[in-house]
A and B are shown apart, each in its own frame.
Chain A
Amino acid sequence: MKVAPAALALAAVLAATPAAAGVRRFALVAGEPDGGAGTVHLRYAERDARRIHEILTRVGGVQRDDARLLLSQGAGAFRRALAELSQASAAARSRGERTLLLVYYSGHAKDDALRLGSGRIPLEELRGALERAPADVRIGLLDSCRSGAIARTKGARPAPAFDVRKGDDAGPTGLVLIASSAADEDSQESDTIGASWFTHHLASGLLGGADASGDGRVTLAEAYAYAYARTVGSTASSAGGVQHPVFLYDLGGAGDVVLAELAPATGGLVFPAASEGLYVVLDRSGRAVAEVAKTAGGERRIALASGRYLLKKRLPDESGLLVARIDIEREPIGVEDARMDRVALDRDPQKGFAGSRIGMLGGFGMQRFFSRAARDGLFPPATLAGVELAVRDDLGHGLAWGGDLAYGGGNGELRMPGVDPIPVRFTEVAGGVSLWRDFRTGPLTLSAGVRIAFTWLGRTFEAEQDLPSQYFFTVTPGLTGAASWRFTQRLSAVARVRVSYLFYNVDENRSLGFAEGLLGVEYALGD
């Protein structure tokens, strides 16, 4: 079973020879959040699998046709995919190609078996399949609790590195098994990084963080060493206990397996030799996609897919963060601390602070005064159409401000004692500014804050043309609250309620309260 923060030791393993050297690589990547009865749903198993699949196919030398990504597909699909890839590897070998078969699994493991939904795959079965697989190099990467049991019989070791034989023959052959935790340890997930610890560090290593030699290649040994050190470090103080990745290394031949080649990849970040510290690369949703524990003395590069990222670095004295928005395209981008923005610790994008975000909201709603006397004699209920501009996280994490405009009105009757009801056309125009705090829970955001508005209220009496038009203009302070549900990256459904105070002073001094409800759709501008 995999528990809360689990780390992933995944990948590093791959290739005895670089992709460029002609090794045909096959990869089976499976994410299985459901482990059947007695297990909890893993939040990040599928994301872990998608992440590793993306890395392997982008910088790991695995052609897309040679990769299988299985998300919650069960034991049967896993076995079929493994058999299919083994068959393909055999075919490639028959044509004289060197081959590598990598199996990655993120999910539950219990009682010496992988738990894929209601199905099970005993670790012995998986190990046997890998041992028999017709590939020159077979690599098993398991990110699941107690997965170290797969290497138990051969004396797998929780150690930061394994030896790689030097030589100049055709390349390594054999089996490598890497598990995210020892046979008696849980593997942990982390909400902070949105991944299991081991997979997160393995992925970061494969993207370049583990390239200790700086040669643009991430070898199996480098990846494992990086993932091991980072996983142990990350889980050292966790409630789930420290997590030690383990390995079984049974390779013949010479050389190490290159798992990722950074040079052919387009785009990415280049950390200069002088830079040092822990850098974290976040995607648009604020989840970590790579970490680089950079030490001074050598250039380090990480390969990232094209897109927009946030790069953050925690200052050593805990006085703040350095943050930069980076658009990765074809050319590598050099990282310069001096060009990053310094922000307070509470604006950590990894903790949900994504910088200022602007949203436009449009919707319809109602206005209603609480006092019946006020409704009948002064301000009748009105329908409203409104637009709002919201700037979130501009004043701090979770703090937002915005402006709004509303126009509306309605037809009603003015009731006065002894006088026939007079038809009234009522108009309301309001504009306000608000300051509020957002509380986010997944796609749901609850907001509460204060607002001050200028409100113009007018009425005309079209059926009684002798009566003059009237208006009232005033300041209306109040409270605002909202519940919004994000259903796409940019669109959210919003239900907003405002309660405002209106000081009426024409006939007499009266304190009135009114509520406005608004249902609308918010569109997020930018990222």
Chain B
Amino acid sequence: MRSVTRTTAAALGLALAACGNYSTEDLRFLAALPTRSDLSVAVPADASSGAATVCPIGPADVWLRAKPTSDNLNAGVRFVVSLIDVVRHYPPTAREKDLRRWGPFPDEKHPGREIQIVIERTYPAGPDGAPVHDYRFEARRAGDPAFDPLIAGTFEGASSARGHGTVDLYFENFWNLGMNDDTTPHGTMLIAYDRVSDPVTIALDLTNDGFGVVQFGYGFAGYADGRGRFDYRFRTLNGDVLTVVTGYDAAGAGRAAVAYAAAGGGTGSFRQCWDSSACLTYVDDPFNFSCIVPPCSGGSYAACPVDIPAPWPFPPP
């Protein structure tokens, strides 16, 4: 008994003398959290270069809205990731075998509020299978017993760069807890991403307008060879709402199927193709919605790129 006591005392002494955040397990938990690049919509940056080009038929104005729309979406993603990234800069408050928790601690930006982040790990496919991480970024008013989720996510895989997951933002809870600012949208943003195979896909469902984009279920697929698909929606200056399904090749040439809801009422659709300079090469717009001086249709269907992922079908006129 005495030797056991001594051993225990020695172990306790060493434990008390040890400190630090040197944890490989922490890194495994962090690896499951999405990074900004994991959730970014990567529309070709040169899609806007056509604005300065003299185009025979005209510029691909609908396509030229893709990049600014993706930039706004990425700004929303940055907002999400910046909240999650708090955990990368501080060691966990609590470590358990399959759990890490940061907090609760006061939110310096919002006095009287407490936040905590929890990541739980499970192995639904068995100990040798891919782990599933569920994480919550949650907050409460100081003194409240329960937390409300601000962000909830799940991820299957060992590394966010090679797995699939979801991230849900509950903007209403920001408002309910008084943690919003003027730019905080209402509703929710649900993000699903899959980086397991080619293409990488990201889906963002925004239930309310926000981050400079309108309510929509945005979709992005990026192939390793540079091709891609981007589904987006935007509102024109005169209030028309255009819902766009695009596909593009590695050079940026692409085609789009556009459905519109005119501000003055009425709906319809048109199709366009463009080249790598974002100049229209083909327009199929029987209702002359897409231009100021009719006829809007023109160009050659044969000029449309073929080997692109969307929209499909894209039948000839």
Q: Which residues on A are within 8 Å of B, measured CB to CB?
A: 377-378, 414, 416-420, 422, 457-459, 466-468, 470-475, 503-509
User: Which A residues are CB-close (under 8 A) to B125?
Assistant: none
Q: Decide if A503 touches B162 in the complex (CB within 8 Å).
A: no
* Given A418-B158, A419-B158: A474 and B19 interface contact (C-beta under 8 Å): yes
Q: Mark B100-137, 1 if CB is under 8 A from A, else 0.
A: 00000000000000000000000000000011000000
Q: Decide if B24 touches A414 in the complex (CB within 8 Å).
A: yes
User: Which B residues are CB-close (under 8 A) to A467?
Assistant: 27, 30, 88
User: Which A residues are CB-close (under 8 A) to B131?
Assistant: 418
* 28 A-B interface contacts by CB (under 8 A): A378-B24, A416-B24, A416-B27, A417-B158, A418-B130, A418-B159, A419-B31, A420-B161, A422-B27, A457-B20, A466-B35, A466-B85, A467-B30, A467-B88, A468-B30, A468-B88, A471-B21, A472-B18, A472-B22, A473-B18, A474-B14, A475-B13, A475-B17, A504-B18, A505-B15, A506-B26, A506-B95, A507-B25
Residue of B nearest to A374 (CB): B24
In angstroms, Cα B91 to Cα A506, docked, is 11
In angstroms, Cα B166 to Cα A408, docked, is 42
Which of A417, A419, A458 lies in contact with B22, CB distance below 8 A? A458
Beta-carbon contacts under 8 Å, B171-190 to A: none
User: Which A residues are CB-close (under 8 A) to B311?
Assistant: none
9 interchain residue pairs of minimum CB distance: A418-B158, A472-B22, A472-B20, A474-B18, A503-B14, A475-B17, A507-B25, A419-B159, A470-B22
Which of A377, A418, A422, A473 lies in contact with B20, CB distance below 8 A? A473
Shortest Cβ gap from B217 to chain A (Å): 28
Q: Decide if B14 touches A506 in the complex (CB within 8 Å).
A: no
In angstroms, Cα B97 to Cα A509, docked, is 11
Shortest Cβ gap from A149 to chain B (Å): 70
Residue of A nearest to B130 (CB): A418
Most chain A CB inside 10 Å of its own CB: which residue of B18, B30, B85, B90: B18
In angstroms, Cα B130 to Cα A420, docked, is 14
> B306 contacts the other chain (Cβ, under 8 Å)?
no
* Given A474-B14, A503-B14, A509-B15: A468 and B158 interface contact (C-beta under 8 Å): no
Q: Name 14 extra pairs, CB < 8 A, besides A419-B158, A466-B30, A506-B95.
A: A414-B24, A416-B24, A419-B159, A420-B159, A422-B27, A457-B20, A470-B20, A470-B21, A470-B26, A474-B18, A475-B17, A505-B15, A508-B97, A509-B15
Q: Decide if B22 touches A457 in the complex (CB within 8 Å).
A: yes
Residue of B nearest to A457 (CB): B22
Shortest Cβ gap from B60 to chain A (Å): 36
Residue of B nearest to A471 (CB): B20
> B11 contacts the other chain (Cβ, under 8 Å)?
yes
Chain A interface helix/strand/loop/mixed: strand
User: Which B residues are CB-close (under 8 A) to A472?
Assistant: 18-22
In angstroms, Cα B161 to Cα A420, docked, is 9
In angstroms, Cα B258 to Cα A342, docked, is 104
Shortest Cβ gap from B33 to chain A (Å): 9
User: Which A residues are CB-close (under 8 A) to B23?
Assistant: 470, 506-507
User: Which A residues are CB-close (under 8 A) to B158?
Assistant: 416-419
In angstroms, Cα B30 to Cα A160, docked, is 93
In angstroms, Cα B20 to Cα A470, docked, is 7
> B89 contacts the other chain (Cβ, under 8 Å)?
yes
User: Which A residues are CB-close (under 8 A) to B14?
Assistant: 474-475, 503
User: Which A residues are CB-close (under 8 A) to B35?
Assistant: 466
Beta-carbon contacts under 8 Å, B29-87 to A: 30-31, 35, 85
Q: Decide if A503 touches B15 in the complex (CB within 8 Å).
A: yes
In angstroms, Cα B159 to Cα A504, docked, is 25
Q: Decide if A414 touches B18 in the complex (CB within 8 Å).
A: no
> B157 contacts the other chain (Cβ, under 8 Å)?
yes
In angstroms, Cα B37 to Cα A476, docked, is 41
In angstroms, Cα B129 to Cα A417, docked, is 10
Shortest Cβ gap from A431 to chain B (Å): 14
In angstroms, Cα B158 to Cα A466, docked, is 16
User: Which A residues are CB-close (under 8 A) to B95?
Assistant: 506-507
In angstroms, Cα B13 to Cα A475, docked, is 9
Most chain B CB inside 10 Å of its own CB: which residue of A459, A505, A508: A505
Which of A419, A420, A458, A503 lies in contact with B28, CB distance below 8 A? A419
Q: Decide if A503 touches B88 in the complex (CB within 8 Å).
A: no
Residue of B nearest to A477 (CB): B14
User: Which B residues are CB-close (under 8 A) to A420?
Assistant: 159, 161-162
Shortest Cβ gap from A99 to chain B (Å): 79
User: Which A residues are CB-close (under 8 A) to B22?
Assistant: 378, 457-459, 470-472, 504, 506
User: Which B residues are CB-close (under 8 A) to A422?
Assistant: 27
Residue of A nearest to B131 (CB): A418
User: Which B residues are CB-close (under 8 A) to A503?
Assistant: 11, 14-15, 18
In angstroms, Cα B95 to Cα A506, docked, is 8
In angstroms, Cα B19 to Cα A472, docked, is 6
Most chain A CB inside 10 Å of its own CB: which residue of B20, B22, B95, B158: B22
Q: Mark B238-267, 1 if CB is under 8 A from A, else 0.
A: 000000000000000000000000000000
In angstroms, Cα B11 to Cα A303, docked, is 62
In angstroms, Cα B27 to Cα A417, docked, is 11
In angstroms, Cα B230 to Cα A33, docked, is 97
In angstroms, Cα B25 to Cα A475, docked, is 22
Residue of B nearest to A506 (CB): B23
In angstroms, Cα B97 to Cα A444, docked, is 51
User: Which A residues are CB-close (under 8 A) to B91?
Assistant: 468
Shortest Cβ gap from A420 to chain B (Å): 7
User: Which B residues are CB-close (under 8 A) to A418?
Assistant: 130-131, 157-159, 162
User: Which B residues are CB-close (under 8 A) to A507?
Assistant: 23-26, 95
Most chain A CB inside 10 Å of its own CB: which residue of B15, B24, B85: B24
User: Which B residues are CB-close (under 8 A) to A505?
Assistant: 15, 18
In angstroms, Cα B30 to Cα A506, docked, is 16
